[in-house]
Structure 1
Amino acid sequence: MKSKIRLIICSLLIAALWSCKVVAQTSPVAVPSVLNNYPWTDTELMEPADLAASLKEAPAKWPAILNIGAVEDVKGAKHIGAVGKEENMKALKSAVAALKKNTVIIIYCGCCPFAKCPNIRPAFMELKKMGFTHVKLLNLPVNLQTNWVAKGYPLAGS
């Protein structure tokens, strides 16, 4: 009798786990960033279309935009360089040192997908550690070419 009960319980657990996995794999809903081990939340992502629209405003109204990778600069961005290198991380800290802690800072790398990028996590976490409260990550989940350039959004000099 005990073995039948164990078999039924194990079968139910396996069925429950299997059904959860199937739902997660086929769900059209995006997985929240925190479930992907990203240090940012979905509310800390800025959509490229939103940034491109804000760049139509007077430059005085633009957020601080920092290119913390090795890709082209979007319009209005200050080029820091790949912060995976120590000298560029120092340049990032120096670039924001005089800013108020509530300044909107948008960082991006765009070299590769978020899951592989060596620059965005360290930069994001460092800015948070420094006390900045409005740090945003430009949502370039594939790369700058796919999520910015191909959509016709402005680059520096254009």
Structure 2
Amino acid sequence: MKQIRIILVEDDSGHALLIMKNLRRSGISDEITVFDNGQSVLDFFNSLPDERAHAEFVIILDLNLPVLDGHQVLKKLKSDHKTKSIPVIILTTTDVHQDIRISYELGCNIFITKPTQYDKFCITIQTLGMLLSIMEFPILVETNSLGDNSRT
């Protein structure tokens, strides 16, 4: 079974706990790392030793973040060759058409508006967890000197 590393960028600790709890309820057992501001998640990716470490990530990103907002983070991630292929799921309270449009233009893969009702919120996150369990993720392929492709 494939293992992914879920990066959750969420400044509301209550939402972060609820998201993690409901991802677990959906059967997700993968590592979940939480960042509470936009700059800290960029610092994390910049601190990784090489590109190969970026291949197994998926990012769940709020738009309303301190330091750097979600659009700023998304723009930086998608403009960096090391992180541009990481799937990014926007999970935010806004349903403003302009925010949705900008998010897709900047390269988000999925945009989800957080429901305000507790039960719907839980169902939404559990459904997201089920989607994550069947998603395919980019694999970094290197070509060696003989021209063979090897999975790293």
Same-fold call, TM cutoff 0.5: no
As a proportion of its length, which structure holds more strand? 2
TM-score calculated relative to the size of structure 1: 0.40
As a proportion of its length, which structure holds more helix? 1
Structure with the greater alpha carbon radius of gyration: 1
TM-score calculated relative to the size of structure 2: 0.41
